[in-house]
Amino acid sequence: MSGVPQQQQQKQKQNTVDYLATHEAAVAAAGSCSQPALKQQPTPAGVAGMPGHVASANSAGTYSSSSLPLAIAAQQRKLSGRYALTDFAIERTLGTGSFGRVHLVRSRHNHRFYAIKVLRKEQVVKMKQVEHTNSERAILSIVRHPFLVNLWGTFKDSTFLYMVMDYVPGGELFTLLRKSQRFPHPVAKFYAAEVALAIDYLHQNNIIYRDLKPENILLGADGHLKITDFGFAKYVPDVTWTLCGTPDYLAPEIVSSKGYNKSVDWWALGVLLYEMLAGHPPFFTEDGNPIKLYEKIIACKVRYPPYFETGVKDLLKNLLTADLSKRYGNLHRGSKDIFGHMWFAEVDWDRLYRREIPAPYLPTVTADGDSSQFERYPENDVGEYSRTDLPDNLGHIFPDF
């Protein structure tokens, strides 16, 4: 296997909240819009074995932000106020970010393990992530898919927001990829296919994910994946202009500050697939200079290693194209061009959707609550949780938590 560029060996979870601060052409987000209710989606014609995904139809609650239309808001499961931090015992920290952290917790009632994402409200406001945070909660409250993480409930105190989600014990795909340096074609195909099913489900419900990368893909104990972190996901029936995502995965139209649609996720799938096969993204820059990175993305000149199969090169060339009139997923056949591509010819999509196809890698998980696949972090801030002696000056900004 080829070595991974030295700079890629170190984990960089930086996203556009801070990494793209120098990009002067960023423009404001598009306004709110309307959409019909989530519905069962028909099997795409011409793609054998492709499942029709069923979106959650449970109704409850309302969504007071303009991030989602009322038709979708009406279908949100009742999640707010279902829990309090006293319902859980915090085991350890699984990850940290710019304005929060994720903990492994155990329910004091059913004794099951969950992941709780804790966000400091003051930092969310300071980083101008209020809309993204409210949107993440709203979208997770309505989506249901085998390859998407589940949200079980939310709550808040005077200082923090809390989101109770699935605990996915196998760790990040990022970690597995760095250990492997690169994946064999069948392994990359398996993960790319599961990601494609999840992205297609979101798109059929007019949701753009916008932050596809190995760090946001977790592996279950059975080896099947779960996409997590919906902080940049957004309901978009047509076009949006918000600059967000992770630099290496940004599509040319985002870098160029043009309006863009759901096809940016299919571009990101191409970047992910390339990285899984090569061990680094297609537009990687040794010095990490974002301007050079953007120039390479806009130029869209991809060099394919000689060991790339002919079929995957053909698929990548149709995903990693700046010409939207040629990019797979954006043509009149939509995602069927991807699912029906020759490189995926042997994939039984229906069995894959039902997780009946064995995963190529099983994480070493010895028991429920095993967290050995995650890095260790200092256990900070825990003592500040659920304080009742402080005024809640920001709670009204997050009405649905």
| 156, 176: one domain | no
pLDDT value for 63: 29
pLDDT value for 32: 29
| Assigned domain for 185 exists | yes
pLDDT value for 73: 52
pLDDT value for 68: 54
Q: What is the CATH number of the domain that holds 252?
A: 1.10.510.10
Residue 176: both structure tokens together: 């597995």
| Assigned domain for 9 exists | no
What is the secondary structure of 114-157 as a DSSP string?
A: EEEEEEEHHHHHHTT-HHHHHHHHHHHTT---TTBPPEEEEEE-
| 177, 308: one domain | yes
| Assigned domain for 48 exists | no
| Assigned domain for 264 exists | yes
| 144, 186: one domain | no
| 210, 348: one domain | yes
pLDDT value for 187: 99
- Name the nearest CA neighbour of 270 among 361, 324, 338: 338
pLDDT value for 72: 56
Instruction: For residues 158 and 394, give the distance between their C-alpha atoms in angstroms, rounded to a whole number.
Output: 8
| Assigned domain for 55 exists | no
Residue 315: both structure tokens together: 């698929």
The reply, when asked if residue 292 is annotated as ligand binding, is no
Instruction: For residues 161 and 172, give the distance between their C-alpha atoms in angstroms, rounded to a whole number.
Output: 24
Q: What is the full per-residue pLDDT of the chain (401 aa) written as tens digits? A: 444 444 444 544 444 443 333 333 332 222 223 232 343 443 443 343 444 333 332 222 222 333 455 445 555 666 766 799 999 999 999 999 888 999 999 999 999 999 999 999 999 999 999 999 999 999 999 999 999 999 999 999 999 999 999 999 999 999 999 999 999 999 999 999 999 999 999 999 999 999 999 999 999 999 999 999 999 999 999 999 999 999 999 999 999 999 999 999 999 999 999 999 999 999 999 888 999 999 999 999 999 999 999 999 999 999 999 999 999 999 999 999 999 999 999 999 999 999 999 999 999 999 999 999 999 998 877 878 877 778 899 999 999 99
- Name the nearest CA neighbour of 369 among 88, 106, 101, 90: 106
pLDDT value for 77: 63
Q: Which amino acid is at 35?
A: Q
pLDDT value for 341: 99
- Name the nearest CA neighbour of 171 among 131, 215, 210: 215
| Assigned domain for 391 exists | yes
| 254, 151: one domain | no
| 328, 249: one domain | yes
Beta-carbon contacts of 109 under 8 Å, excluding residues fewer than 6 positions away, are 87
Instruction: For residues 372 and 150, give the distance between their C-alpha atoms in angstroms, rounded to a whole number.
Output: 22
| 78, 207: one domain | no
pLDDT value for 118: 97
| 157, 190: one domain | no
Question: 269: domain range?
Answer: 171-354
| 141, 274: one domain | no
Q: What is the CATH number of the domain that holds 74?
A: 3.30.200.20
Q: Which amino acid is at 75?
A: Q
Active site members: 211
| 160, 190: one domain | no
Tally of structural domains, the chain? 2
* End-to-end C-alpha distance for the chain, whole angstroms: 47
Q: How far is CA 79 from CA 82, 140, 144, 227, 311, in A?
A: 6, 10, 14, 20, 44
| 200, 305: one domain | yes
| Assigned domain for 4 exists | no
Bridge partners (DSSP) of residue 92 are: 104
pLDDT value for 69: 53
| Assigned domain for 331 exists | yes
DSSP state of 30: P
| 209, 302: one domain | yes
pTM for this entry: 0.84
